[in-house]
Amino acid sequence: MNFLYEKDNHFNLANLVTFANIACGVLAIYFLTHTSFFIAALFAWIGGACDIIDGKIARKHNLSTEFGVQLDSFADFLSFVIVPCMFIYFAVIDPIQGEVNIFLTAFAFIYYIISALRRLIQFNINSDAGEVAKHFTGVPTPLGAILLWLVYLIWLTGILSSTVVLVSTIVIGFLLNSKIKIPHP
């Protein structure tokens, strides 16, 4: 079992937890496409927990590598960008197709996805394996996903219209690349 703690092994313990995050994202997408929103949300939150755990394991056991940094960003893209967008689409927009402007819908999701992808790429360019900054510049993608979940939960109460959900998606996409300073936990 020493391979789990070998820094250069792509299947070390930290990366295995990141792979679990990816698996949770794929399962969340499966359940979203089958309108099992509770189970999809459960897998999304488990993936989020894996994202926290993999970093702690990597730092504790000195397993941070460039491969791990890249892998983590790919996992973040799936779990904190694609899954929340699909969740909003399948839970909020799909049931009322035709009632929401198709151009606003397309713009909201494309803008959010491109904004998040740009953020993740810039983060990777600026980061060094094993280094943790004191703060994030702009809203990190996991926090962006949490904000989208909060918008969804508020929408469930009937306070927000689906159009406001889409506009909120655009605003959160903008915040991902803003100059706001967010303390690193």
The per-residue pLDDT for range 120-156, each reduced to its tens digit, is 999 888 877 656 667 888 999 999 999 999 999 999 9
How high is the pLDDT of residue 131? 64
Name the nearest CA neighbour of 144 among 160, 179, 168.
168
Structure-token match 């779990």, residue found? 79
- Rounded-to-integer distance, Cα 53 and Cα 57, Å: 6
Q: Closest by alpha carbon to 83, among 123, 118, 113?
A: 113
CA distance 181 to 161: 30
Global pTM reads 0.91
Please provide the CATH number assigned to the domain covering 2-183: 1.20.120
State what percent of residues in the chain have pLDDT above 90: 78
Q: Among residues 121, 118, 31, 150, which one has the least CA distance to residue 83?
A: 31
Q: Which two tokens stand for residue 47?
A: 């993936």
Give the integer Cα–Cα distance in Å for 129 and 59: 10
Phi and psi angles of residue 182, each rounded to the nearest 5 degrees, phi first: -115, 120
Q: What is the pLDDT of residues 156-181, one digit of tens each?
A: 999 999 999 999 999 999 999 999 98
How far is 144 from 141, CA to CA, in rounded Å? Answer: 5
